[in-house]
Amino acid sequence: METVDRSALSGKDLEYLDYIDDHIGKVKSAWGVLKRLSVTNGLLADDFFYSNVEILIGNHDKSKYSNIEFHGYRQWFFPKEGEVKSEAFFLSAWNRHQKRNPHHWEYWVMPTRGLTILEMPMEFIIEMMMDWVAMSLKFNNKPSEWYKKNQDSISLGGHTRYEIVQWMGVIDGVWEKLKEA
């Protein structure tokens, strides 16, 4: 995967790079809080599961540094003066990102024989919810409020949705601890 050359970036490219770095930092911070809560409350007691989530969080959204995703997102969210946004370029980057990152629910939707919704393994559910915490910090809304508002447009398997609902109070607690910091 060819990645952007950080040393060659300036202006809006650097602004977007800072945004990615900040987002990934917030995901890692959310995971750090959840880890502490987990130790205290025995929420994630399985060492193998814990190690898998640790690896996923360590690699969270690295594909956003690829040239295709980086420039597709940057031109859409951080356009340069006079630059015309290309929706096709953005959607191509967004689709690529979803299909390379199993923490996105879209990864688990198969467009064959109608729509087939696969259940998400728990480690990806946790990573997805850490992503939601990071975005909720940016937009100053509780993850549960965001989920309640958007749940009808999110295609999830029944067990996946059940797990999200079961964890939402804990996830809001992670958000609240980070918001206080």
Parent domain of 125: 116-180
Mean pLDDT in residue range 49-66 = 93
**CB burial class (10 A; 0-12, 13-18, 19+) of residue 170?**
middle
pTM of the model: 0.93
pLDDT at position 39, please?
67
Query: Taking a C-beta distance cutoff of 8 angstroms, is the pair 56, 124 a contact?
Result: yes
Number of domains composing the chain: 2
Q: Are residues 22 and 98 in the same domain?
A: yes
Q: Are residues 56 and 18 in the same domain?
A: yes
Give per-residue pLDDT as tens, 7-42.
Answer: 788 899 999 999 999 999 999 999 999 988 876 666
Q: Are residues 87 and 150 in the same domain?
A: no
Query: What is the C-alpha to C-alpha distance for residues 84 and 65, in angstroms, rounded to an integer?
Result: 22
User: Which of the four pLDDT bands, split at 50, 70 and 90, describes residue 171?
Assistant: very high
Q: Are residues 92 and 122 in the same domain?
A: no
- Does any domain span residue 111? no
**Residue where a domain stops, chosen among 84, 106, 128:** 106
What rounded mean pLDDT belongs to the chain? 93
Mean pLDDT in residue range 67-82 = 96
pLDDT at position 136, please?
97
pLDDT at position 10, please?
85
Q: Are residues 13 and 72 in the same domain?
A: yes
Provide the token pair at 8: 């060659």
User: Which of the four pLDDT bands, split at 50, 70 and 90, describes residue 2?
Assistant: confident
Give per-residue pLDDT as tens, 43-53.
Answer: 666 677 888 99
Q: Are residues 134 and 157 in the same domain?
A: yes
Question: Is 90 exceeded by the pLDDT of residue 89?
Answer: yes
